[in-house]
Structure 1
Amino acid sequence: MAGFADEDELYRYIGGIFEKGFADPELGPKMEATQMVFESRCTDPDCSLIIDMTNRKVHKGTEGSPTPDAVLTMTTDTANAYWQGKVNLPFAMARGKVKVEGNVAKLLSLSPLGKKLYPQYVDLLKADGRDDLVV
């Protein structure tokens, strides 16, 4: 599996699908209504995003960002596969591939909304010619 080269790629692809979701007239209000802030913390390489659903913002890195309700930690290759719908979050948590700190129940409640972002994620990868990241 392939992962991201750096934090810029994490921001472009994972951050990008959240920005598209926030702009969507149907999905954006549902995302905002969750009142959730979570951190997507990745390893290999180390990088991080804060997804602020409340204010419809994506922050590259954690400096100056709101405090997350939950932190999701995984390798960049697992994150890449997850956003393509190839990783079952509860199963990955049980196997230790994904670690969650904080409000796990609230984070898991985002799953139905996240699934609506999977096709947009794959489309963004393909539009950029990043077939190397398509799982």
Structure 2
Amino acid sequence: MGVFKDADQLYELLGGLFDELTSDENIAEKFAKSALIIHFNYTDPDAEIWLDASQQDPENLVVITGPAEGITAEVEMSMKADIAHQFWLGNVNLMVALTRKQIVAKGPIPKIMKLLPVLKPAYVVYRQMLEDKGLGDMITEK
């Protein structure tokens, strides 16, 4: 069994993280400029999360947990949910994970890579969110 007990817990934690990040003024502004629609496909458990910055408006970023109708992603990121969890803890290097096929990306990789420095605060936010929810046992180190 993976780190998430089910898709609902994944949506609560990773969806909650994305909600938190899109409400951060600095992150929201930079993500909005990307104009990307990113679709995260997870396995173990099966789940999906969409991030939509197509309006290029930091006040109008959309996070969708679950299937989304009528949206076409510019970037598709597929991975086991455990890899996503480890990434947001700061334990997985994106380039290494892409090379090892732990994460499979389709779309403009350079655009994704440009967002990485903006996401550095997310590692702290995710760890704190887990602690706040009494899930500190889910926090692991590299």
Would the TM-score normalized by the shorter structure come out above 0.5?
A: yes
Match of 1:97 among 90, 93, 102: 102
Show the counterpart of 2:75: 70
* Local SS of the residue matching 1:110: helix
Paired AA for residue 23 in structure 1: S
In 2, the alpha carbon distance for the partners of 1:88 and 1:34 equals 21
In 2, the alpha carbon distance for the partners of 1:110 and 1:8 equals 27
Check whether the contact 1:2–1:132 (CA below 8 A) recurs between aligned residues.
no
1:24-74 Cα deviation digits (max 9, x unpaired): 223221221111111111111111101113441111122326211111111
Show the counterpart of 1:85: 90
In 2, the alpha carbon distance for the partners of 1:76 and 1:25 equals 27
Most deviating of 80-89 and 33-42 = 33-42
Moved segments of 4+, more than 6 Å = none
Higher fraction of helix: 2
Q: Summarize the alignment of residues 111-130 of structure 1 with structure 2, pairs less than 5 Å apart.
A: 111-130=116-135
Per the TM alignment, residue 89 of structure 1 is displaced from its structure 2 partner at its CA by 0.6
Most deviating of 13-22 and 75-84 = 13-22
* Local SS of the residue matching 1:116: helix
Paired AA for residue 129 in structure 1: G
Check whether the contact 2:2–2:44 (CA below 8 A) recurs between aligned residues.
no
What is the TM-score when the length of structure 1 is the normalising length? 0.89
In 1, the alpha carbon distance for the partners of 2:118 and 2:16 equals 15
Residue identity (%): 30
In 1, the alpha carbon distance for the partners of 2:116 and 2:134 equals 27
User: Aligned residue pairs: how many?
Assistant: 135
Q: Summarize the alignment of residues 23-62 of structure 1 with structure 2, pairs less than 5 Å apart.
A: 23-54=23-54, 55-62=60-67
In 1, the alpha carbon distance for the partners of 2:10 and 2:72 equals 19
Query: Where in structure 1 are there 5+ consecutive unaligned residues?
Result: none
Show the counterpart of 1:21: 21
Check whether the contact 2:2–2:45 (CA below 8 A) recurs between aligned residues.
no
Indicate the RMSD between aligned Cα atoms, in angstroms.
Answer: 1.8
1:10-35 Cα deviation digits (max 9, x unpaired): 22212212211221223221221111
Check whether the contact 2:50–2:68 (CA below 8 A) recurs between aligned residues.
no
In 2, the alpha carbon distance for the partners of 1:15 and 1:53 equals 15
